[in-house]
Structure 1
Amino acid sequence: MIQIKHKRSGKTLKINTFWLRDHCRCGDCYNVETKQRKYNLLDIPKTVKPLKAEYIKDGLQYEVHWTDGHISVYDIDFLHDAQVEHVVARAEDSTVRTPWNQPFIVAHEDQLRTTLVELVSTEAAVRKIVQSLIRYGIAFVDGVPPNTTMTEMAVRRIFPPMKTFFGEMYTFSDVQDHADTAYSKQYLGLHTDNTYFCDAAGLQSLHCIRHVNGIGGDSFFADGLHAANELRHRNPRAFEILTRVQVPAEYIEDGQYHKHSAPIIRVDPVSGQIVQLRLNVYDRAQFDSVSQEEMQDFYESFRDFLEIVQRIENHWRFKLQPGTVVIFDNWRVFHGRHAYTGQRTMTGCYVQRTDFLSKARVLGIID
């Protein structure tokens, strides 16, 4: 270990010397254009040590001469910010995500909406949508002509659609094109999509392009982050169980058999922050991932969570109308719909999580 003084905070950093050598950012070690390391880790001798080290540039940089003959110069702010305790502290202090219930989100609805005209003509509208998705997990684009082509254009202005066996853009009604309850007129409770995928879609978009000769079909949304935070506060043991127990899910139809197991609540192993909610009572497969002795604890924890999710004050209910595209975070926001009559056609697409977060980083909304 080596001790380095961080001038701005006055803290002393204790840093592993091999980590320090591995994080040299000189032109021989790091390609500043591709942002990639240039070497194999085994190129650094296992026993590499600092021969000489000194502060330069008024204590803002640190120069190290190594036993392998290499010389490294480090920005001490970079070394400070890269330490795990500071990464965790930044995550705990972050206000980038705002949990919500129904009264709160309705009061902030103006922050969620833009128009297609604004979206195609200004970068500010793109940023507003992405900011809303990061902060609240939901956003709307109004003034979109009710067809699949224009819906795709609105989404592609921000993100590339994700291709699945449903297609890139999907259009569905009550015709049973797939083995899914969504392809019906039935009530559909709060859920996230793709629990049976190894990597569930990060975002989902929906656009009601037609509803005639009938009533019903109101959509409703609930913030899983808000519900999970409440469970963590109210019943920490139930929260811990739901972050640990692997819940199997599956999707089966002709030519398709998808199956995956993961916890209902996934937390970041470093920061402890909630990363993903995975909730779908319809897609649950045979539950064989824990012993029968553990089942009761799981079911009680799951029921406790569902009771929070299904509280009416946590539901934001409205009817999707032709002309409005809703985009929401499939790792955070639960969605459902009421039963309906008549002829109703929906269109939309998924977006990969990595493309969503990449856009948010490019725009400087998240780190």
Structure 2
Amino acid sequence: MTEYAIVRYQGWVSVEAAIDTSPTETRSRPHILLRDDWLHVHFGAGTPAHADFHWFWLRHQCDGERHPVTGERTLDASEVPLDIRPRSVTLDEGAGRLHVVWDEPSGRQSHYDLSWLRAHAYAPDRPQVPPPPSDVARVALDARRLPDAAAVVEACLGLLRREGLAVVRGFASAPGRAPEDDTDALVDAFTAGGLALISTHFGRIEDLRTDNTTNQNTDQLGYTDAGIDLHTDQPFLDRPPRYQLLQCVRPATLGGESYLVDALAAARLLQAIDAPAFELLTTVPVRFHRKQKAFERVVDAPLLTMEGPEGFQSRYSYFTLAPFDRPFAEMEAWYRAYTRFARIVRDRRNQYRFELQPGEFVIYDNYRMLHARTAFSGPRWLRGVYFDPA
């Protein structure tokens, strides 16, 4: 009998066998994987091969919640919290039986025969959709290993197409030059590689620093030392800029960590686990409103667009999301859907997290990636540039 301990790995609650960790397990043997909201069961040989079961469904089906004489169910489904989770899960492979101890005051224990679960599988052989990736090595490249700036740009554009993000290490200035002296050359390299520089209401190049004196319309969070959580840049425009490059001139003394998440991967995961929520976020127009002392824009659009003229596009910005019209009977459902998506992207396990050193930079697809930073102290200075495809 194998007891499974809950462990966290890249957005999933997976399992490790606490007793039997031998590598002899194959798909022909029963085994289980614990996810955040459901249990994934591999039955072994036969059909279906595997199935998923929500935790609340399993709790409602508890074999101990029946009258001892008549066998009728005594537990109403409404009495089971939708967010119920197990305290422990044990698979008795020899008996073909699953044992669950629930994380509730009663310590209720439930038992399920694998044959019964297979017969009542409501999600048989469901495709497994992975969460957003978080391994920075997947999107990082070392400029010192490439012959010149043109090769760096080519590698970056390849990562942008595949992953939506490129983190460039080792891009240091020549002796006697400061990183800010190389920004224009970096911009020129990307324009030569097929991108077009976009000027915005901030100007041509943003100096993201608390003592900014070079940009317009600096009355917004980017020019403070506050933490800024995940967002799309400029979702209040009809056509937001497609790419942003952030070059580190000077890191913070404390804090100032960057983090990004793949909103496309998050949207695909949401579609797989909560189709009604996905439908709402891709069809209901909401309002994004930016109002500053000398600048104001408003746009109405869905939070997520899967197949627009530019392909996938996210508009996720908690600080510019404004009141929008929705029938009373439908407003709560939209907020539930938004919260479900936010749970995915705000989960640290689903985020690329890193710090940049002077000269290093990140370039990301503003339609696909959400970006953020932690609060900081000290003279942090990043330079920001927007691009569109040429």
Same fold (TM over 0.5): yes
Rounded Cα–Cα distance in structure 2 between residues aligned with 1:283 and 1:241? 19
Gaps of 5+ in 1: 1-97, 356-367
- Tell me what 2:291 maps to: 252
State the match for 2:347 in structure 1: 311
TM-score (norm 2): 0.59
Q: Which runs of 5+ in 2 are unaligned?
A: 1-129
3-state secondary structure, aligned to 1:199: coil
Shift of 1:316: 1.5
Matched to 1:348, the amino acid is: G
Provide the secondary structure at the position in 1 that maps to 2:241. Answer: coil
Which residue identity does 2:288 align to in structure 1? A
Within 2, Cα distance between the matches of 1:264 and 1:148?
35
1:63-82 equivalent positions in 2, closer than 5 A: none
* Structure 1 position 143, deviation (Å): 1.6
Separation of aligned partners in 1, 2:232 and 2:225: 18
What TM-score comes out, normalization by structure 1 length? 0.63
SS at match of 1:179: coil
> What's the CA shift string for 1:222-252, capped at 9, x where partnerless?
1111111100100111101000111211112
In the TM superposition, structure 1's runs of 4+ consecutive aligned residues that sit over 4 Å from their partners are none
How big is the shift at 1:255? 2.3
Matched, 1:101 2:128: no
* SS of residue paired to 2:246: strand
Cα drift, residue 330 of structure 1? 0.5
Contact 1:231 1:239 in 2 (8 A): yes
Out of 221, 224, 242, the position equivalent to 1:202 is 242
The alpha-carbon deviation at position 286 of structure 1 amounts to 2.3
- Which of 166, 180, 200 is 1:139 aligned to? 166
1:283 partner amino acid: T
What's the CA shift for 1:269? 6.0
- Please state whether the residue corresponding to 2:249 is helix, strand or coil: strand
Within-5 A mapping of 1:156-167:
156-158=188-190, 159-167=195-203
Q: Distance in 2 between matches of 1:269 and 1:126?
A: 27
Alpha-carbon distance, 1:117 to partner: 6.7
1:323 maps to 2:363 = no
Q: Find 1:277's aligned residue among 314, 333, 342.
A: 314
Task: Select 1:220's aligned residue among 249, 259, 270.
Answer: 259
What CA distance in whole angstroms lies between the structure 2 residues aligned with 1:138 and 1:269? 20
Shift of 1:101: 1.2
Matches within 5 A, 1:18-33: none
- Give the % identical residues: 29
For residue 118 of structure 1, what is the aligned residue in structure 2? Answer: 147
Q: Quote the offset at 1:175 in angstroms.
A: 3.8
Q: Residue 230 of structure 1: which of 269, 289, 313 is its match?
A: 269
Q: Is the 8 A contact 1:138 1:328 kept in 2?
A: yes
CA distance in structure 2 between the aligned counterparts of 1:116 and 1:183, rounded to whole angstroms: 34
The partner residue of 2:224 within 184, 189, 211 is: 184
RMSD: 2.4
Cα separation, 2, equivalents of 1:119 and 1:293: 58
- Higher RCO by CA contacts (8 Å cutoff, separation 6 or greater): 1
